[in-house]
Amino acid sequence: MAPGSGLGLVREKLAAAQGVVVLTGAGISADSGVPTFRGTDGLWRNFRAEDLATPGAFAQDPRLVWEWYNWRRELIATKRPNAAHEAVAEMERQHPQFWLITQNVDGLHRAAGSRKLSEIHGNIWMVRCTGCRRVVENRDVPIQILPKCTACHSLLRPHIVWFGESLAEEDLRRSDAALRSCDLCLIIGTSGVVYPAAGFASIAKEAGAFVVEINLDVTPHTSLVDVSLQGRAKDVVPLLVCA
């Protein structure tokens, strides 16, 4: 559906919505200069995220995995939220029943003011001890390789959900509850290939929500949603929010 026809309908739906859920992926941060995973800009030294963001890769070569995360920390440290992140934070202020589910680990939603959110794949600025499991914030750029826990001297790892690892129970519970009780669900900038997040739109749809996709391309979500707005998140998302 061309943006013009669907835009007015989505604006009305958002203005009238009781419960709003927003699900975001790397596409919302692309306009801040953060590379997406499956676009041409997502590769590092010809590795793919699926190769490095796994417990096996970290067990085999923690130095290589930390070098990859240092590359991303250095890159993300210079990036700022864009108009789409800010519009999502404004939606939270306008809707008492609001929840943001983000797959992004870049922290840009928090930087834009979002507070009612689940960072379901973790946060690149948090590290977790492989020994005592304590989680601390670490914004060193670069982080000293191989970082050790100050309490028990075990190796620290990124506090990020890798492929083959389960999401936090609380994030799954909170996301499921929000998806089942919303009447509007916006899916912004995700390719819809990584589970369980790729199944979240169906949960909202089956619960009766009006589901909208904002993306540059067609994705597996497109055939499922009520309205598909094709365009850059930074251009389209701010148009949905009444000032």
| Contact call for residue 228 and ligand BV8 (CB under 6 A) | no
Which helix (H) or strand (E) element contains residue 101? strand 97-102
| Contact call for residue 219 and ligand BV8 (CB under 6 A) | yes
Residue 100 binds: one of ligand BV8, Zn ion, none (C-beta under 5 to 8 A by kind): none
**Among the residue ranges 19-27, 57-65, 146-154, 178-186, the one whose residues contact ligand BV8 (CB under 6 A):** 19-27
Q: Which is nearer to ligand BV8, 19 or 99 (CB)?
A: 99
- From the list 3, 5, 32, 2, the residue with the least C-alpha distance to 236 is 3
| Contact call for residue 39 and Zn ion (CB under 5 A) | no
One of 137, 166, 170, 242 touching ligand BV8 (CB under 6 A): 166
CA distance 115 to 237: 18
**Among the residue ranges 34-42, 144-152, 164-172, 210-218, the one whose residues contact Zn ion (CB under 5 A):** 144-152
- From the list 60, 56, 57, 34, the residue with the least C-alpha distance to 47 is 57
Q: What are phi and psi of 157, to 5 degrees?
A: -125, 160
Contact assessment for residue 185 and residue 203, using Cβ atoms and an 8 Å cutoff: no
| Contact call for residue 33 and ligand BV8 (CB under 6 A) | no
Residue 39 C-beta: closest distance to ligand BV8, Å: 6
- From the list 169, 172, 166, 204, the residue with the least C-alpha distance to 187 is 204
| Contact call for residue 147 and Zn ion (CB under 5 A) | no
Judge whether 121 counts as a catalytic residue: yes
